[in-house]
């Protein structure tokens, strides 16, 4: 690059000199000699300058080559170190993966061993429990079949509360008696044989005729006796009657809302015993509202749209009480108004009497005054 610049400069100098020579046509010979001498010197010095330029160019190229080579070597070294570092990291990751795989396999093996041990323990416990249950069932069966005739040993006697047995006749509800009987038998700790004998002994009067229709070999079967009594005296045969009573039930004069609600609840338990509880609650509220005697209270309670009997009863009682208070207040206000009206009438009458008295007095005074004679 530098040699090119020097060559261009020589050409410019030479051109300017040539131009000067052309313009200086007609100069003297002395000027021509000096010019030729300068040109000769420059021509002799030009090869040396060219050699110097070439040498400097070669040195610059060599220096640039060395710099590029050293830069490339350093970059290659850095890349090599980076690659080696990445390889080491990859090897570390692979080593960690291998360790994780080994640990995972060990954990899975331990889990399988624990599961096998737990399953074995469960099977052992299950077998033991089933064996215990079988033993208990066997012992219970033996106790039920064994007659109860222990000797009266005072040392072994202990006080135990007993509930008195009940009595059933046609006047008693079989459903109620059955519930009470099971409660008593549970409290006294009766087994099925004792329950059977106690139930047979509890039947009184004409209800005992049901036992005549039961075979003698079935009189010791509690289920057979209960089914016979259920078929004869059960409430399932009277369901339609209880439904009719519910539909036609009306509040009696002087009957409180609590008593009415209790009777509606009783009829519901007899008529809809097998129905779901939420449906029974809704029907109880409806039948209670229909049975209310007072139309205003019935209408207000119906608008409440309660889904249960208790809110309906509470609201109807509050409404009835509020209505009674309002009625009493109206009567008191009417009495006060009547008293005020009578008082106003008395005052007006007194005022009228006073006016009449004044008129009468003035009239009497006018009569007593003598008239003047016009003559």
- Indicate if 242 and 194 belong to the same structural domain: no
Same domain for 301 and 243, yes or no, is: yes
Domain that holds residue 181: 174-233
Residue 129 lies in a domain: no
Low-confidence ranges of the chain (pLDDT < 70): 1-36, 40-42, 143-163, 165, 170-171, 235-237, 327-346, 349, 353, 356, 360-375
**Whether residue 315 sits in one domain with residue 254:** yes
Q: What percent helix, strand, coil does the chain show, rounded to 5?
A: 80, 0, 20
Q: Are residues 213 and 272 both part of a single domain?
A: no
Same structural domain for residues 322 and 252?
yes
| Per-residue pLDDT, 98 | 86
261 lies in the same domain as 221: no
Report how far residue 64's alpha carbon sits from residue 62's, in angstroms, rounded to the nearest whole number: 5
Considering the domain architecture, whether residues 318 and 265 belong to the same structural domain is answered as: yes
What's the CATH number where 315 sits? 1.10.1200
Verify that 247 and 305 share a domain, yes or no.
yes
Q: Could you tell me if residue 48 is inside a domain?
A: no
Residue 206: what pLDDT?
Answer: 78
Measure CA of the first residue to CA of the last residue in the chain; give whole Å.
Answer: 175
242 found inside a domain: yes
Task: Determine the pLDDT at residue 291.
Answer: 92
pLDDT tens per residue, range 3-31 = 555 555 555 555 555 555 555 555 555 55
Give the Å distances, CA to CA, from 9 to 3, 6, 14, 15, 60. 10, 5, 9, 10, 22
Task: Tell me what pLDDT residue 14 has.
Answer: 54
pTM score > 0.85 for this model? no
Q: Is residue 84 part of a domain?
A: no
Percent of the chain with pLDDT over 70: 70
Same domain assignment for residues 265 and 315: yes
Question: What's the total number of domains in the chain?
Answer: 2
258 and 186 belong to one structural domain = no
Is there a domain that residue 222 lies in? yes
Residues 203 and 246 in one domain: no
pLDDT for residue 155: 42
- Would you give the distance in Å from CA 259 to the centre of its chain? 39
Q: Is residue 148 part of a domain?
A: no
Residue 12 lies inside a defined structural domain of this protein: no
Domain assignment present for residue 65? The answer is no
Q: Is 168 helix (H, G, I), strand (E, B) or coil?
A: strand
* Phi, psi for 157 (deg, rounded to 5): -75, 140
């Amino acid at each position: 690059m530098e040699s090119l610049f020097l060559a261009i400069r020589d050409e410019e100098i030479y051109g300017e000199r040539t131009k000067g020579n052309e313009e200086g046509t007609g100069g003297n010979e002395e000027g021509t000699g000096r010019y030729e001498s300068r040109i000769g010197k420059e021509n002799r010095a030009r090869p040396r300058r060219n050699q110097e330029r070439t040498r400097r160019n070669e040195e610059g190229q060599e220096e640039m080559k060395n710099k590029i080579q050293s830069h490339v070597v350093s970059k290659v070294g850095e890349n090599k170190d980076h690659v080696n570092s990445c390889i080491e990291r990859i090897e570390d990751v692979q080593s960690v993966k291998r360790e994780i795989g080994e640990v995972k396999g060990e954990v899975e093996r331990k889990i399988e061993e624990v599961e096998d041990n737990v399953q074995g323990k469960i099977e052992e416990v299950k077998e033991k429990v089933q064996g215990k249950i079988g033993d208990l069932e066997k012992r219970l069966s033996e106790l039920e079949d064994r007659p109860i005739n222990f000797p009266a040993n005072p040392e072994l006697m202990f006080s135990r509360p007993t509930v008195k047995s009940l009595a059933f006749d046609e006047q008693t509800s079989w459903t109620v008696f059955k519930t009470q009987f099971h409660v008593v038998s549970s409290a006294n700790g009766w087994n099925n044989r004792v329950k059977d004998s106690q139930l047979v002994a509890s039947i009184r009067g004409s209800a005992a005729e049901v036992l005549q229709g039961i075979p003698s070999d079935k009189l010791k079967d509690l289920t057979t006796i209960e089914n016979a009594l259920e078929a004869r005296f059960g409430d399932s045969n009277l369901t339609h009657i209880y439904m009719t009573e519910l539909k036609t039930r009306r509040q009696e004069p002087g009957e409180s809302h609590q008593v009415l609600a209790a009777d509606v609840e009783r009829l519901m338990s007899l008529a809809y015993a097998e129905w779901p509880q939420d449906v029974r609650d809704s029907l109880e509220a409806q039948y209670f509202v229909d049975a209310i005697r007072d139309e205003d209270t019935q209408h207000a309670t119906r608008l409440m749209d309660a889904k249960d009997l208790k809110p309906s009863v509470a609201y109807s009682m509050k409404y009835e009480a509020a209505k009674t208070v309002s009625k009493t207040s109206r009567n008191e206000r009417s009495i006060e108004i009547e008293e005020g009206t009578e008082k106003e009438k008395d005052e007006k009458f007194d005022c009228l009497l006073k006016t009449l008295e004044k008129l009468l007095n003035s009239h009497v005074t006018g009569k007593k005054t003598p008239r003047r004679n016009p003559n």
